A and B are shown apart, each in its own frame.
Chain A
Amino acid sequence: MNIHKRTLLLLAMATALSSPHLALADDASIKIGVLATFEGPFTVLGEDGMRGAMTAVDEVGGMVGGKKIEIVKGSSDASPDSAVRAARKLVEQDGVKVLVGPLSGDEGVAVKDYAKTQPNVTFINGTSAAQDTTLRNPAPNFFRFSTDGAQWMAGLGTYAYQVKGYKRVAVVAEDYSFPYTQVFGFMAEFCKAGGKVPSKSWVPIGNKDFSSVIAAIPDDVDAIYVALGGADAVNFLTQFQQAGGSAPLIGGSITVDQTVLTSKGKTRDVLIGTPSAGPVADTNDTPAWKAFVAAYKKQPDAFPSPSLFAHGYYVDMKATLLALGEVKDDVSDGGVKLRDALSKLSFDTPTGKVSLDKNRNAIADIYLTEVTAGSDGNLYNKLVKVIPQVNQTLGIPEKDFLALGAVGRDNPSCP
């Protein structure tokens, strides 16, 4: 009967391995779920987001409110379906009461919708930056301390028109809610300053061949605004360079992020001098930022400078830990006290003060930058200007801002 015993043993082992909820629940620890993209085109971004979250955890020595922090990871591939599936697993199987994530735009919208069905669980965003996650139909238990994609663009449109002197700009961006939000933020200022956007190319996420997109860009533009992320950005920039593209670029926040700047190849030649804006600037020399960079670099495989994903996950995890500390890890009331503490939270991040508006979306400083080569040969985003305390409506009264309509492929438009 050897085989029976062996089979039984194997089955038992498999069960033990596959049912972590059977492991003894430890009262001395607090479980926090972290949802990021560990699969698909945004894998590099998700891994750096995780480093950011762990930087915040290490900063408090892995303890909050007297309890040990237990991190449970969930993985998505940047599609909304997979994000909801991973969130469900973390909430319903692993039993987390606090979840930090997700990373990408439409994932955030989907997880926000899921949050409405789990009123006793508190959701804190990762770096998902679609406008509608918090602006329209927000969930009362979804918080975003990492600002949205339109806020990240604050100051860039005016800078491109007035300082760089670009009057006509073509847009190349991925076809989903986050790039819509970024293009909206850029064009809101750029069109107001008098600029024109004669063509917009929306490319599917995970696109490999950009030759037709590059060929379709009009010749009479002064610059190209590129809002692509991760592998897509690298593919576009390489092919743009190979096609002999000479028009200067304007970068979306994640297009000139460390996740792209650290890629190998000839992309660097086309990127140097590219203006952009976002929640971080690599050459920020405030002590708080330098301390954050030093702490971040202790994480395994860290970039020369933290990407905005590391920063976003750090800020959201930090907010989570501050609020958990305030309520002494007490989430037994379905997280009511925790959410109360989160709403009132206002704290100093490595990039300035962060507080929340009534939709639980962050008001924070935004950094206008330009790509330069550092003395060590790496590419960095040089700080040009800080735009202080940008809110979600970009300083426009909320009623007028909502009247501009939801972001999309055709909104805004100034051909």
Chain B
Amino acid sequence: MTLLSTPADRSASGSRLERLGAAHVALAVALVIFPAIGSDFFLTQIGGYSLIFGMLALSLMMLAGYGGMVSLAQMTVAGIAGYMVAIFGQNSSGVLGFGWPWWIAVPFAVLVAALASALIGAISVRTEGIYTIMITLAIATATFYFTQQNYTIFNGFPGFAGLKAPVFWSVDWRSPVAFYYLCLGMAALVYAAVLYGSRSTFGLTLQAIRDNPRRMRAIGFDVTAHKIFAWFLAGVIAGLAGVLLVWFNGRISPGTIGVSAAINVLIIAVIGGIRHPIGPFLGAVVVVMMQTFAIDIVGAERFNTLIGLVFLVIVFVSPDGLLGLWGKIKPHIAQESLRSGP
């Protein structure tokens, strides 16, 4: 909570508030007071889970939207962070578990994930478009099978259990409200960072590289280094999401980082739209709601069909996802309000 309210407190002056945007303030307020109305289930299973998947999709949105690199390996990067927390922190599976305190294990896990992400970037950076997708998909699949069949380090199919959020600052971060705020704080942090970063010199250079790499290289920019650094930053975001994900599930297994989970991240980003960092979070809310409640609407045998249909409809109506849909509706609303004048 502190993470969010401090910037709001500081922005007492009108110009600051304006720059922050009314929509942002309204959204922040709504998200902060959500625990007052949401049940525990909605806080963690919908709220927390959406925020975590939103962060994952955000790391993809950053690579795809600003860098033009569509990656299917973001779930793998998150999984690496998750496995690091399980292996170097405490788990109840009786395999490894070095018992490092969380404040060492977590930064270490995120760092390893970011470095792994940079490595994936270095491998795939010379490819473009569909070939990047294929290479990252291959890496994701290979990692999935590697964790599933390696019992000495990754404990194979069952994976690790008993991974819980720590207790610090005398707050139990595994309780629903605290965990929700933890996810919200982290999501707000990376969201603001990406928004800020996109307007920074590095962000603008990256977007220029996306639009015309050859020209950027001719001017003298090191295109490869910029791209790999973008992968590193995306890895930090995915790594943070991965740590939150294992705290959320209380466990990690190859199923967590399987191919369908990796594709889910792409679906979320596409549903939400990759033009603006808010898109992935919108997409995550829709997908998580669908996955949780579709079974109640159409029954156990056909619910995946309904999920697929909704995805199809969204992408069919608006190729830019929900963000694009909003872009289409907004002028209509403005027109309507003009017409319905006195």
Contact = CB atoms under 8 A, between A and B. Distances in A.
A222 interface: no
A47 interface: yes
Nearest to A20: B296
A80 B253 contact: yes
A50 interface: yes
Interface stretch (A87-95, A344-352, A355-363, A377-385): A87-95
Interface in A328-367: none
A204 B253 contact: no
Contacts of B253: 79-81, 106
A403 interface: no
A17 B289 CA distance: 11
B332 A50 contact: no
B251 A80 contact: yes
Max chain B Cβ within 10 angstroms of own Cβ: one of A18, A113, A409: A18
B271 to A, nearest CB: 15
Interface string A193-217: 0000000001011000000000000
B301 interface: yes
B165 interface: no
A177 B333 contact: no
A79 B259 CA distance: 13
Contacts of B292: 89, 93
B45 interface: yes
A47 B289 CA distance: 24
Given A3-B329, A80-B253, A409-B151, A73 B300 contact: yes
B340 A1 contact: yes
B297 interface: yes
Given A75-B300, A175-B157, A177-B158, A1 B336 contact: yes
B159 interface: yes
A415 to B, nearest CB: 19
Nearest to A109: B158
Nearest to A80: B253
A50 B161 contact: no
Contact of B250 (A18, A19, A47, A84): A84
B81 to A, nearest CB: 16
Interface string B30-41: 000000000111
B295 interface: yes
A3 B332 contact: yes
Nearest to B295: A75
Contacts of A175: 148-149, 156-157
Nearest to B293: A18
Nearest to B340: A1
Interface in B226-282: 249-256, 258, 260
Interface string A112-135: 010000000000000000000000
A80 B145 contact: no
A328 B293 CA distance: 31
Nearest to B245: A81
B97 interface: no
A398 interface: no
B303 interface: yes
A232 B301 CA distance: 21
Interface string A72-110: 111101011110110011001100000000000010011
A48 to B, nearest CB: 12
Given A113-B162, A175-B157, A176-B158, A81 B256 contact: yes
Nearest to A203: B149
A2 B40 CA distance: 36
Contacts of B41: 88-89, 92-93
B304 interface: yes
A39 interface: yes
A109 B158 CA distance: 9
A85 B249 contact: yes
B162 A84 contact: no
A402 to B, nearest CB: 15
Q: For the complex, would chain A's binding face be called helix, strand, loop or mixed by DSSP majority?
A: helix
B289 A2 contact: no
A18 B301 contact: no
A399 interface: no
Nearest to A95: B41
A85 B45 contact: yes
Contacts of B21: none
A139 to B, nearest CB: 13
A38 interface: yes
A4 interface: yes
B43 to A, nearest CB: 10
Given A38-B301, A39-B304, A88-B45, A113 B255 contact: no
B342 interface: no
A17 B297 contact: yes
B299 interface: yes
Interface in B153-209: 156-159, 161-162
Nearest to A47: B301
Nearest to A176: B157
B145 A204 contact: yes
Contacts of B333: 3-4
A176 B156 CA distance: 8
A148 to B, nearest CB: 16
A92 B296 CA distance: 15
Contact of A106 (B158, B252, B299, B301): B158
A79 B300 CA distance: 17
A155 to B, nearest CB: 28
Contacts of A47: 301
A280 B164 CA distance: 40
A18 B254 CA distance: 30
Contacts of B151: 409
Given A176-B157, A204-B148, A18 B256 contact: no
Contacts of B304: 39
A77 B40 contact: no
Nearest to A92: B41
Nearest to B92: A113
A81 B162 CA distance: 12
A130 to B, nearest CB: 9
20 contacts: A4-B333, A4-B336, A17-B297, A38-B295, A38-B301, A50-B300, A77-B255, A79-B255, A79-B256, A80-B158, A81-B249, A84-B249, A89-B45, A92-B41, A92-B45, A110-B161, A113-B162, A175-B149, A202-B149, A204-B148
Interface of A: 1-4, 17-21, 36, 38-39, 47, 50, 72-75, 77, 79-82, 84-85, 88-89, 92-93, 106, 109-110, 113, 175-177, 202, 204-205, 409
Interface of B: 39-42, 45, 92, 145, 148-149, 151, 156-159, 161-162, 249-256, 258, 260, 289, 292-293, 295-297, 299-301, 303-304, 329, 332-333, 336-337, 340
